[in-house]
Amino acid sequence: MSLTLRPSFARWLAPLAVALAAVRLSAAPATIFQVNSFTNLNYSSGFVGQVGVTTEWPAEMGRSGDTVDVGFVLSQVPPVTARHYRFRAVITSHFEQSFALEVLAGPSLDALTAVHSEFVNSARVVAATVPLERFAVGQTNWIRLRGVGVEVGEAKPAGVQWNRWLLTRTDAALDLQSAVDDQLRRLADYVRDAIQPSGLVRDSLMHSPAAQPIHPASPDAAGFALLALCGLDHLKVVGDAEARVQAILSAHAGRTTGVTPKRNARGHWWHWLNVATGNPHPGWNDNYTTIGSALLVAGGLFARNHFPQNPTIAALAEELRASCDFDGMIHSALDGRVALATDVNGNAVGHTRPWNEYQLIVSLALRQPGATRAAAVSNLWLNPAAAPKSVYRGIPVLTDRAGSFAPAFWTQQQFFFNPDFAGNADFVGFFRNQQRADALYCASGLRQNYRYGLTAGVDPSGYRADRIGDHDNVFSPSAVGGWGDLDTLLEFIQSQPPGADPRSRYGLARVSSAMANWWPADAGLVDHLFLLFGLVEARSPGFFKQRQSFTVAPKLALQPPEPGAGRATLSWSPEVPGFELQESSSLTPPLWQHVATGETNGSTVELAGPAKFYRLVRP
C-alpha cells in the first residue's frame, strides 16, 4: 500500500462535516430518457425504435448490425440555464471488431448531424455532447448510433455490447467557459491561502470559512503548489506567482529567516511541518517522507523550467535536488522496492513495490549524479510492459498487485509531474485507461448517470484511497477534472452551483451517492489541485509536459569570435528541448523577438551595429 496516511484523528472530521452541512443544493442533470432493456437481435438492415414504445433493443453492434435509430419525444422546454444534452452509451463488453462509433442527433431522420465520433477498441462509456438546437420540443427527435466499417453477418466477429443508454440535459448558471474561469479563480484562492507567510504550504484547507485551519504544512503540498502557481501564472490568473514560488523554495531550502524544515541525514524532509517554523508538527505521524520529498523537488524543477529567467529560482531548485538522496530511497536488494518513509539516518521505514506514484522517486534517482541503484530497478518502474496490471472489463490498468485496482491519483500524479511517464505513449495510454475503467465502473456497476472519479481524499469515514471495488461511494470532481473531462465537470458544477454555499469557496468538493447532504470538512491540497491541473492542461494542452524536464536548465554562452570575423556564435548547454532564443535591442523596456535560427543550439550573431540582448525562453 503506497498511500500516504493522514492521522487517525481525521476520522472525527467526518462527523464534523455532517454537522456543519446544510442541505446540499443538488440539482442533478435532468434525465430525458433511459434505456436498459436489451436482447440479442439481428438488424443487418438497421434498427428503428422509440423510447416508451419499443420493449427490446439490440444489445450488440457488430455482426448483428451497424445502425440503431432511437426516437424519443422531447416534451419539456429547456430552462434558460440549459447548456446542452448529453447522450451516454455504456459499453460493457468489447469483442473482436473495433470501429468508429458515431453519434448523430436531430429532429428527424432526414436531419441528423454528427455530434460525436470515437474509435471503440475496448469497453467504455461513450459520452456525446449534443447542442440544444439539435432537438425540437413537442415532437419525436432522433439519436442514431452508427458503426463505421462494421462487418455485419452471422459469420462475422462480434463487436461491442452495451447495457444502458442515457440522455440527460445539463442546466448550469454559467456556460462552460465561464464555469472554468470561476473554478480557476476559486482554486487560485485555495493556493494563495495554503501558502503561509513562512513559505511553507498547508497540507489541507477547511471548506467552511467559519472553520479554523488545523492542518500542518507538508513538502507534498509545496510540490503541488509549485506546479499550481506555474499554471496560474501561465493563464494569467495570479500576478505574483514568481515571488510565491521563490518564497516556497527558499523556505524548504532553509534560507528563510526563522524557517528550518527538519531533514534527515539523506536530505529527506520531515512530513508534517509546523506552518511557521518547519519543525515537526506535534500529534501527527512522525516520519521523513520519500514521495513528499520527490514531489517538492520535482515541483521546484518544474518551476525552474517555467521561470527560466529567474536565477534565484534555478539555484534554489538545484540546491533542493542536489541535497536530497533519491537513490538511497531504493532498496539495496535492487528488487524494485522503494522506501515508503525513512528514519533520521535515512533508513527505510516500510517499502512499496511497483507500480504506483513512487515511480517519481526512481525517475529523479536516475538523474542523480553517482546513483548506483536507480538504473538497476528502472525497468521495473519505468517500463510499462513490466508493470503489474489489473483488467476491468477488458481494460488494462496499472496497479501494484494483480487483482487490485489503483486510485486515480497514481497515474494522474505521474502525468503532471514525471517526464518519464508523460513522455511515454504507453504510460499515457494507461492514464486514459484508468479514466475509461473508472467511468465505466461507476456507470455500469454503480449506476451513476455522470459521477465518477475514484481517488484519494476525505470521505464520510475519514480519509481513504477509493478505487474500483473498494470505495465508500464518494466521487471526486477533481479526478474528473484531472482527466480533462470538462463536460462532465459542468454536470458536477450543476449540482454545486457557484456561490450557492460558502463551502464552495475553493471550488468543487467531493460528493457521496450514499449521503446526499454530506460535505467534506476539508480538501487535501494534493487531492484537490488535480482539478486545477486538468483545467490548465485543457486550456493549454502540453503545458505540463513542456516543463517537466529534470535536466539542468540551459545557459547561454558567447563563443569568442575569430580575429576579424565580425560575428560570433551564441550557444547553450545542455541542449534541452522546448527553448527558443530571443533578442531585444533594449532592456528599458525590453521588446523580445524570436531569433529565427534559435530553435537549435547555435546561432550566429553580428558584432557590428547597436548592442543587443539575448535570452533563452520556453514559450
Tell if the pTM clears 0.85, that is, is over it. Answer: yes
Degrees, nearest 5: CA angle 139-143-148: 155
Check pLDDT > 60 for residue 6. no
Q: Does residue 53 fall inside a structural domain?
A: yes
Asked whether the beta carbons of 107 and 184 are under 8 A apart, the reply is no
**pLDDT for 214:** 94
Mind listing the pLDDT tens digit for each residue in 83-107?
A: 999 999 999 999 999 999 999 999 9
**pLDDT for 601:** 65
Mind listing the pLDDT tens digit for each residue in 485-530?
A: 999 999 999 999 888 899 999 999 999 999 989 999 999 999 999 9
Mind listing the pLDDT tens digit for each residue in 194-232?
A: 999 999 999 999 999 999 999 999 999 999 999 999 999
- If asked whether residues 437 and 497 sit together in one domain, one would say yes
Q: Does residue 572 fall inside a structural domain?
A: yes
Q: Distance between CA 258 and CA 198 in Å, rounded?
A: 8
Asked whether the beta carbons of 340 and 352 are under 8 A apart, the reply is yes
Mind listing the pLDDT tens digit for each residue in 589-616?
A: 889 888 876 445 677 777 778 888 888 8
**pLDDT for 281:** 94
Q: Does residue 515 fall inside a structural domain?
A: yes
Asked whether the beta carbons of 76 and 168 are under 8 A apart, the reply is no
Q: What is the 3-state secondary structure (H, E, C) of 448-467?
A: CCCCCCCCEEEECCEEEECE
Q: What is the CATH number of the domain that holds 394?
A: 1.50.10.140
Domain edge (last residue) among 127, 148, 171: 171
- If asked whether residues 506 and 566 sit together in one domain, one would say no
Mind listing the pLDDT tens digit for each residue in 575-593?
A: 665 678 888 988 888 898 8
Mind listing the pLDDT tens digit for each residue in 46-56?
A: 999 999 999 99
- If asked whether residues 206 and 308 sit together in one domain, one would say yes
Dihedral of the CA atoms 199, 200, 206, 210 (nearest 10)?
-50
- If asked whether residues 122 and 146 sit together in one domain, one would say yes
Asked whether the beta carbons of 530 and 220 are under 8 A apart, the reply is no
CA dist 545 → 387, 440, 530, 618 (Å): 22, 27, 15, 12
- If asked whether residues 15 and 82 sit together in one domain, one would say no
**pLDDT for 611:** 86
The answer for residues whose C-beta is within 8 angstroms of residue 570's C-beta and 6 or more apart is: 556, 557, 558, 559, 581, 602, 603, 604, 605, 614
Check pLDDT > 90 for residue 286. no
- If asked whether residues 441 and 460 sit together in one domain, one would say yes
pLDDT band at 552 (very low <50, low <70, confident <90, very high): low
> Quick one: what percent of the chain has pLDDT higher than 70?
93
Check pLDDT > 50 for residue 19. no
Q: Distance between CA 357 and CA 364 in Å, rounded?
A: 13
Transcribe 543-579 into DSSP letters. Answer: TTGGG---SPPPEEEEEPPPTT--EEEEEEES--TT-
Check pLDDT > 70 for residue 353. yes
Check pLDDT > 70 for residue 1. no
Domain edge (last residue) among 171, 190, 221: 171
- If asked whether residues 305 and 337 sit together in one domain, one would say yes
User: Exposed (0-12), middle (13-18) or buried (19+): which is 283, by Cβ within 10 Å?
Assistant: exposed
- If asked whether residues 510 and 408 sit together in one domain, one would say yes
Number of folded domains that form the chain? 3
Mean pLDDT of 129-137: 98
- If asked whether residues 482 and 573 sit together in one domain, one would say no
**pLDDT for 581:** 84
Mind listing the pLDDT tens digit for each residue in 52-79?
A: 999 999 999 999 999 999 999 999 999 9
Mean pLDDT of 288-314: 96
Q: Which of 372, 366, 346 is nearest to 287 (CA)?
A: 346
Q: What is the CATH number of the domain that holds 579?
A: 2.60.40
Degrees, nearest 5: CA angle 179-478-286: 140
Q: Distance between CA 275 and CA 225 in Å, rounded?
A: 15
Structural domain containing residue 602: 555-617
Mean pLDDT of 182-201: 98
Q: Does residue 1 fall inside a structural domain?
A: no
Check pLDDT > 50 for residue 540. yes
Q: Does residue 30 fall inside a structural domain?
A: no
Give the residue with greater pLDDT, 183 vs 585: 183
Q: Which of 20, 23, 4, 476 is nearest to 206 (CA)?
A: 20
**pLDDT for 9:** 31
3-state secondary structure of 228: helix
3-state secondary structure of 323: coil
- If asked whether residues 272 and 405 sit together in one domain, one would say yes
- If asked whether residues 284 and 421 sit together in one domain, one would say yes
User: Exposed (0-12), middle (13-18) or buried (19+): which is 95, by Cβ within 10 Å?
Assistant: middle
The answer for residues whose C-beta is within 8 angstroms of residue 396's C-beta and 6 or more apart is: 389, 390, 430, 433
Q: Distance between CA 68 and CA 394 in Å, rounded?
A: 24
Domain edge (last residue) among 518, 547, 576: 547
Q: Does residue 47 fall inside a structural domain?
A: yes
Q: Does residue 225 fall inside a structural domain?
A: yes
Mean pLDDT of 225-252: 98
Mean pLDDT of 155-164: 97
Mind listing the pLDDT tens digit for each residue in 303-320?
A: 999 999 999 999 999 999
The answer for residues whose C-beta is within 8 angstroms of residue 243's C-beta and 6 or more apart is: none
Q: What is the CATH number of the domain that holds 62?
A: 2.60.120.260
- If asked whether residues 325 and 401 sit together in one domain, one would say yes
Q: Does residue 574 fall inside a structural domain?
A: yes
Q: Distance between CA 13 and CA 460 in Å, rounded?
A: 9
pLDDT band at 571 (very low <50, low <70, confident <90, very high): confident
**pLDDT for 14:** 36
3-state secondary structure of 308: coil
Cell, residue 527? 487531492
3-state secondary structure of 582: strand
Check pLDDT > 80 for residue 561. no
